[in-house]
Amino acid sequence: MRKSSVVLILMVIFVCFASFAEGKTYEIAVVPKDATIGWFKRMEVGVKQYAKETGMHAYMKGPSKTDASAQAEVIEDLISAGVDALCVVPIDPVALEPVLEKAMKKGIVVITHEGSTQKNTMYDIEAFDNKEYGAFIMDNLAKAMNYEGKYVTMVGFVTNASHMEWAQGGIARQKEKYPKMQLITADQYVEIQDDPNITYQKAKELFKKYPDLKGIMGTSGHAAPNSAKAIEELGLKGKAFTCGTGLPSQVRTYIKDGTIQYATLWDPADAGYVMCVLAKKILDKQPITNGINLGRKGYEKMILKGNLLIGSGWITLDKNNIDDFDF
C-alpha cells in the first residue's frame, strides 16, 4: 500500500474518532442535600435545562431527607451505576470524604457546590466569596436592627462548610462595623438541621429564652422565612428582625408585609446548570483556568483559588424586586 494511502486512512480514522469523542453523551448525576425541598427542586430546573440544551444524560438524584448517611448511599448507588460525573451539594463534607474518594479512584469526575472544605473533589463551585456573602447578610440585618441589639446566627448544620463561613463572615462584619450589636455567644450558631419546622420551633425558643433578642441572621434557606413566621406569631414584628438566604416564593409574603426587609440568595437553577457545564469540560479534558466562563450570569468569569471556583452570583430581594422572581 502506498504511503499516501496509509496516511489518508489514518487521517480518516482520526477525524471519525474525534467526531465521536466530541459527540459523546456523558452521564452526569447531580446529588443535592434533599431532593424534596423547594431549593433543590429549583436546582433540578437548571439540570434539566442543561440536559435539554446539550443532549447530555444529566439528571438529579438525591435523598428524600437531609441526612448525610442517606446522601452517601445515593452516591454509592451512582458509583455502582457507572456514572461519568457526580455533582454533589454536601450535607457534611467530612462524612462524604470516603465515598467521594472511592468515586475519584474509579475515574468518576467529582464536582461539589457549597463544599469549600471538601478534600475529595476536583473543583468546588461557590456562587460567591462566602465571607463576603455573610458580611453582606449582616449589613442587611444591621440596617433592619438600626445597628444595635443582640443577635444570633442560624446554620443548617455546623458541619456545613458554606453556612459556617457565611455565619463567620457575618460575625466578623458585625465586630468590625457595628459595635452596638452584640452576638449571643452561647447560641451563636443555632443548628436547624435544614428543616423548616425545627427552624420555626427554635426561633420561638430563642425569643423566649432571650427576651431582648433582636435579630436572627439566617444562612440556610429555611432560617429567614421560618424565623419571620415566629416573629409574626409572637407579636414581635417591628421589634425583632431576620435577614438571610431564602427563595423568593418562601420570603415573598414576609417581605411584602415588612417582617423581612431584605433576603439574599443565588439561583439554584444556575448552580445546577454550571456544575454540569464544569463536569463536561473536565470530561472533555478542557483546561480549567482562572476567568473560566461557565455560561450563566455571575459565573462568566470565575476566580480560581486552589480547587475553588468563585463567582459573583448573589441576588438581593426587597419590596422593589420581589415580584420579578417567579420561583
Task: Quick: pLDDT tens for 202-243.
Answer: 999 999 999 999 999 999 999 999 999 999 999 999 999 999
pLDDT recorded at residue 128: 95
Assigned fold of 130-265: Rossmann fold (3.40.50)
Residue whose C-alpha is closest to residue 57's, from 86, 24, 27: 27
Residues of the chain scoring pLDDT < 50: 1-21
Helical spans, DSSP H, in 82-114: 93-105
Task: Quick: pLDDT tens for 121-158.
Answer: 999 999 999 999 999 999 999 999 999 999 999 999 99
25-127+267-313 is a CATH 3.20.20.70 domain:
no
User: How far is residue 233 from each of residues 160, 196, 201, 226, 242, measured CA to CA in Å?
Assistant: 29, 15, 11, 11, 14
pLDDT recorded at residue 24: 87
* Helix axis angle, 248-256 to 223-233, nearest 10°: 30
pLDDT recorded at residue 13: 38
Is the four-CA dihedral 209, 211, 213, 216 of positive or negative sign?
A: positive
Our measurement of the distance from residue 252's CA atom to the centroid of its chain's CA atoms, rounded to an integer in Å, reads 20
Model's pTM, two decimal places?
A: 0.87
% of the chain beyond a pLDDT of 70: 93
3-state DSSP assignment of residue 229: helix
> What residue ranges do the domains of the chain occupy?
25-127+267-313, 130-265
Examine domains 25-127+267-313 and 130-265 and report if their fold is the same: yes
Residue whose C-alpha is closest to residue 223's, from 262, 259, 196: 196
pLDDT recorded at residue 23: 66
